[in-house]
Chains A and B, each alone.
Chain A
Amino acid sequence: ETGVTQTPRHLVMGMTNKKSLKCEQHLGHNAMYWYKQSAKKPLELMFVYSLEERVENNSVPSRFSPECPNSSHLFLHLHTLQPEDSALYLCASSQDYFSSTDTQYFGPGTRLTVL
């Protein structure tokens, strides 16, 4: 596996379910990101981890819970979601969050549908 991988690629869940999204980066990077992409809207940054510590949480509802057990893996735990949470969830990684010349590389995304 190379680059940034995400599983599952598609997920359908009910409003009372609990599920998790997984992201893995094979680039040796120190920073990882979760973004939400909804139709006709710009990518929205949700969370940022640098060296396994959360450095940003952009007013995301508590029904989304991130976890970063090590610098290669990132999870997004989901519970009691709403239909408006249906979107493409993208994971990204970069070499160093605090570098002004850093570039983010994205995974393929998880298409989430909440019924």
Chain B
Amino acid sequence: EDQVTQSPEALRLQEGESSSLNCSYTVSGLRGLFWYRQDPGKGPEFLFTLYSAGEEKEKERLKATLTKKESFLHITAPKPEDSATYLCAVQAPGQAGTALIFGKGTTLSVSS
């Protein structure tokens, strides 16, 4: 069964303290891996799509990387406004069309 596991479940950082979030997946023949950010009471906001192992994408303090088994979301020198839940989702063969399998998310809290 295709699965997506995110860790840690929650992460508390001080402002400026860099860290990484992990998304491991057990799908065969990955078609795409997506990162979203979700603020409380709001819908997920698209961040990145990664398609092949070795691919990297950056946006401000965020950098996403992909291997054959997992993806990391690196947060460099985070600020309080980076506090949110970060969701990972994969698109795999056998999933009709663009259907996604989501992880439970990592809730990040950054304090000043």
Indicate which residue in A98, A100, A103, A109 contacts B43 across the interface (CB closer than 8 Å).
A109
- A26-B53 Cα distance, complex, nearest whole Å: 34
Cβ contacts under 8 Å, B104 to chain A: 40-42
B13-21, B54-62, B94-102: which one contacts chain A? B94-102
Number of A-B contacts (CB under 8 A): 68
A25 within 8 A of B: no
B31 within 8 A of A: yes
B4 within 8 A of A: yes
A101 within 8 A of B: yes
Are A55 and B43 closer than 8 Å at their CB atoms? no
- A102-B34 Cα distance, complex, nearest whole Å: 10
Cβ contacts under 8 Å, A99 to chain B: 98
**A106-B45, A108-B43 known; A31+B87 contact, CB < 8 A:** no
- A104-B44 Cα distance, complex, nearest whole Å: 10
In A67-106, the 8 Å CB interface with B consists of: 88, 90, 92, 94, 96-106
Are B100 and A45 closer than 8 Å at their CB atoms? yes
Q: How far is the CB of A60 from chain B (nearest CB, A)?
A: 14
Are B102 and A97 closer than 8 Å at their CB atoms? no
